[in-house]
C-alpha cells in the first residue's frame, strides 16, 4: 500500500459529492468546528484525483464556519469509482456500528472533569445532560447521595411559602418559581443578569 501524503488544498477548489447521503445539522457542524478549534485539524479530508470530496463534508462545513480558506487533504488515487462510492457510505456507517463501554466511558468523563475543571466536556460530542447521566450511573456512585430526604409532616417547618431569607448579600425566597410574584418578592426592584432554570420543576425523570 502506498504511503499516504497530506497536502493542503483551497476549500474553494474542492468539489462536494452530490451523492453523499450523510447529512450534517448546524449543531453538529458547530461541534466539529469547536473540536477543530481546540484540537486542530487532526482528520484530513479525503479527496480523489479530480478534487472531489470522498469523506469530510462535515469537516469542510466546519472549516468554513471557522473562516478557513484551506484544509489538509489526503488524495486517494488508487480507488475505482465503485470503491469510492462504497467508501463514502462505509466511512460513516462503520463508525455508527461501534458501541460504548458505558462504565469506562463514565469513568473517563468523570476523570476528565476532575483533571481540568475548566475543560469543556461537550467537546467530546456528548451533551452535558448525557454526561451527567453517565457519571451519575457509574459504578460506585451512590444515587441516594443527591436524594432529597423525606420530611416529617408533623415537625415544625423551617420555612414556609412566602419566606424571604437574607444570607449576607444573597436572598433566598421560598415560593413557586413558575409564578411572577415569587420573582417580584425575591428581586424587588433589581434585575437578574443571569437566570438558571430547569423545568419541569420537581418532576422525576429517567433519561
pLDDT digits (tens, 9 = 90+) for 47-106: 999 999 999 999 999 999 999 999 999 999 888 999 999 999 998 899 889 899 988 998
Cell numbers representing residue 165 in the block: 431569607
Provide CB contacts within 8 A for 15, sequence distance 6+.
50, 51, 52, 53
Same domain, residue pair 15 and 90:
yes
Same domain, residue pair 53 and 91:
yes
From the CA atom positions of the chain, what is the Rg in Å? 26
**19 in a structural domain:** yes
Same domain, residue pair 38 and 83:
yes
Q: Which domain holds residue 185?
A: 155-195
**Whole-number average pLDDT of the chain:** 88
pTM exceeds 0.95: no
Same domain, residue pair 122 and 73:
no
Q: Give the strand pairing for 6-10 and 45-47.
A: unpaired
**Rounded distance between C-alpha atoms, residue 68 and residue 2, angstroms:** 29
**Rounded distance between C-alpha atoms, residue 88 and residue 46, angstroms:** 10
Q: Determine the average pLDDT of the residues in 24-37.
A: 95
- Residue given cell 443571569 in the structure block: 194
Amino acid at each position: 500500500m502506498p504511503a499516504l501524503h497530506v497536502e493542503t488544498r483551497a476549500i474553494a477548489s474542492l468539489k462536494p459529492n452530490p451523492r453523499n447521503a450523510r447529512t450534517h445539522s448546524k449543531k453538529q457542524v458547530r461541534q466539529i468546528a469547536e473540536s477543530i478549534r481546540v484540537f486542530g485539524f487532526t482528520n484530513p479530508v479525503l479527496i480523489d484525483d479530480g478534487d472531489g470530496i470522498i469523506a469530510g463534508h462535515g469537516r469542510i462545513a466546519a472549516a468554513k464556519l471557522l473562516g478557513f480558506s484551506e484544509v489538509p487533504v489526503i488524495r486517494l488515487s488508487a480507488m475505482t469509482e465503485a470503491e469510492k462510492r462504497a467508501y463514502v457510505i462505509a466511512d460513516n456507517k462503520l463508525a455508527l456500528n461501534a458501541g460504548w463501554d458505558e462504565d469506562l466511558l463514565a469513568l473517563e468523563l468523570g476523570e476528565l472533569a476532575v483533571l481540568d475543571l475548566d475543560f469543556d466536556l461537550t467537546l467530546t460530542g456528548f451533551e452535558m445532560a448525557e454526561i451527567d447521566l453517565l457519571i451519575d450511573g457509574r459504578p460506585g456512585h451512590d444515587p441516594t447521595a443527591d436524594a432529597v430526604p423525606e420530611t416529617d409532616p408533623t415537625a415544625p417547618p423551617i420555612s414556609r411559602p412566602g419566606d424571604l431569607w437574607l444570607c449576607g448579600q444573597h436572598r433566598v425566597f421560598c415560593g413557586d418559581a413558575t409564578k411572577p410574584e415569587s420573582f417580584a418578592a425575591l428581586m424587588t426592584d433589581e434585575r437578574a443578569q443571569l437566570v438558571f432554570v430547569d423545568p419541569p420543576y420537581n418532576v422525576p425523570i429517567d433519561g
